[in-house]
Each structure stands twice: as structure tokens, then as C-alpha cells.
Amino acid sequence: MTSNDLNSSATDNVTISAGLLIQHDRSGWVGDLVRAAKVDSKFPRANEVSSILGRLIVSITHATFRSRKLGTQ
């Protein structure tokens, strides 16, 4: 078994949403988006791309509204 085999088998079990949510410590808009998704109880934990993208749009909208309300934009 090569190191590539180990790497691919380790990532095969990671869902798209889990892979996204582990990036919560990133800076900038990506980190903001991930942190908003992480606390969103309706954010899909399944591996359905269309559900994840749809919920990210909702998260972006909410984050934009909060930043404008707080005057941080």
C-alpha cells in the first residue's frame, strides 16, 4: 500500500459538509461562511451537494444581513 492509497482511503469517508466545516478557523469570507454554517442547525450534514449549496446561500444571506446590521461591512 502506498501513501497515496492511505490518503485516498482516509478522505473517502469525509463528507463534503464535514470537509467544509473543518475549515472554521480560516480567515476571510470562507471562514465567516463556515462558522455561520457550523452554528446553523439546518445546515445539511449529508453528502448532498445541492442541499449544501442551497443552505450556504441562506448562510451567506444571514451573514450579510448581520454584518450590515452591526455596521461591520
pLDDT average, residue stretch 7-13: 52
The three cell numbers of residue 26 are 480560516
pTM above 0.85, yes or no: no
Number of domains present in the structure of the chain: 1
Arithmetic mean of pLDDT over the chain: 75
4-27 mean pLDDT: 70
Q: Are 43 and 55 in contact (CB under 8 A)?
A: yes
Domain limits for position 19: 3-70
Under the banding of pLDDT at 50, 70 and 90, the label for residue 71 is low
How far, rounded to the nearest angstrom, does the alpha carbon of residue 13 sit from its chain's CA centroid?
17
Alpha-carbon span 45 to 41, nearest angstrom:
10
Q: What values do phi and psi take at 54, rounded to 5?
A: -60, -45
Better-predicted residue by pLDDT, 13 or 54: 54
Flag the least confident range among 10-14, 27-31, 34-38, 45-49: 10-14
